Amino acid sequence: MTKDYDAIVIGTGIIGTCTGFELAKRGFKTLNVDKLPAAGYGSTSNTCAIIRLHYSTPAGVAMARESYFYWIDWGKYIGAYDESGYAKYINTGCLVTKTEKNHYLANVMASLDELNVVYEELDAEGMRRRLGLIDTRAYGPPVAAADPGFGKPTGDDVAGAVYIPESGYINDPQLSCHNVQRGCEAIGGEFRFNAEVVEILQESGRTEGVRLADGSEIRAPVVVNVGGPHSFVINRMAGVEEGMNIKTRALKQEVCHVPAPEGIDYNALGMLISDGDVGCYSRPEVGNHILIGSEDPPCDDFEWVADPDNYDNTFSGQWQTQVMREAQRLQGLPIPETQQGLVDLYDVSDDWIPIYDKSDLPGFYMAVGTSGNQYKNGPVAGQLMAHLIERVEGGHDHDAEPLQFHMKYVDRDCDVGFFSRLRTINPDSSFSVIG
């Protein structure tokens, strides 16, 4: 086969750009392609860009902890000039409410202890000291807005919370992708935009490259699907979906932007809040606003999208429901008549844990099922994928003997098989954006 590149990465969100960057560091001649006009224009541009350490599995916590160190020294990771400047990490700390569903955070605290992460266990009074406007009464489990019990306390105080100081968010997720693009280009990686992939080319039973909507073909022995909410479409193009025990699909999500309570400088005093008791997460937003998303409790209607290029991208009743739920926790939170915020799609796997894996088609790899909880892991996910591709292309049978990937900052190995397409559904997952 005549090849134009060593690897084609489909997607230029944070994980796609980082995968291209890490492959280029290993000497691959790479091309990232995207149907949109610039890096980070897809679902990454609408991510809440939260950098947190609490996940429902030890592997998730460890990967998030490893990734944290890249974000706090972002310029060093990029290693190249970007005329647009660099995305910035804003530290706020994170307050995570204990609930029966999250096992009162016992597993999270055990994982944090193992990684020597500092945290503080709080009772209701401690929560109020951390954030004076917080209402610590129990309202959960969350119910639909039409339920007669909606908004009514179900108990005195919640079971408490864990405060994790090393948590925050990235101020400009789209810029973070542009940063990685510039880092990748500085070492020879290439990018092509407004380039929609319509076919995965194959020859003699393995990947050969891609065909674009304009009819042009690009040849490479390796193709990596990092297509975000379009990932299931691309997997079907490659004919690999039937060989996956865990699959992905696109889920509509709404994120609310509302003003902070009157008289509160929330950009100075606020923090990340992950609150399974009211079924929401929130963080400070520019302009003394608060960003509010759903933690996907069972009472919420899940709108699965069959065509990620054609769906209702307007707000629904979910917007007001989320704001009202958050108002149960944050006293004085206004519920505006005008709806503001974001509507986009998540790329969700069957158990809300990503798939970082090869496929049944030699040369075709996937970093999918990542939306909602993997933005923060972009740099480490890129390294993991580059390690996997390099080893499998070198002859390693990852299905028979799952690879180990060493994370240098936490100094431990990650079992890449944990993210296998062939795994069974992980019962320890939150089955939500928490991962």
Tell me the residue ranges of DSSP E strands in 217-279.
217-219, 222-225, 248-259, 272-275
Predicted confidence at residue 1, as pLDDT, reads: 64
- Distance separating the N- and C-terminal Cα atoms of the chain: 40
Q: Of the CATH numbers 1.10.10.410, 3.55.50.30, 3.50.50.60, 3.30.365.10, which one belongs to the domain with range 7-85+172-247+351-419?
A: 3.50.50.60
Q: Are strands 120-122 and 30-33 parallel, antiparallel or unpaired?
A: unpaired
Residues in the chain: 435
Helix (H, G, I), strand (E, B) or coil at 415: strand
Predicted confidence at residue 45, as pLDDT, reads: 84
Q: Which residues pair with 28 in a beta bridge?
A: none
Low-confidence ranges of the chain (pLDDT < 70): 1
For the chain, the domains span: 7-85+172-247+351-419, 94-165+249-349
90/183 Cα distance (integer angstroms): 22
- One-letter amino acid of 44: T
Q: Of the CATH numbers 3.40.50.720, 3.30.9.10, 3.40.190.10, 3.30.450.40, which one belongs to the domain with range 94-165+249-349?
A: 3.30.9.10
264/216 Cα distance (integer angstroms): 55
DSSP letter string, 33-49:
E-SSSSTT-SGGGG---
Please give the DSSP secondary-structure letter assigned to residue 330: B
Q: 366: Cβ–Cβ under 8 A, 6 or more apart, which residues? A: 224, 225, 226, 231, 235, 240, 355, 356, 357, 358, 359, 421
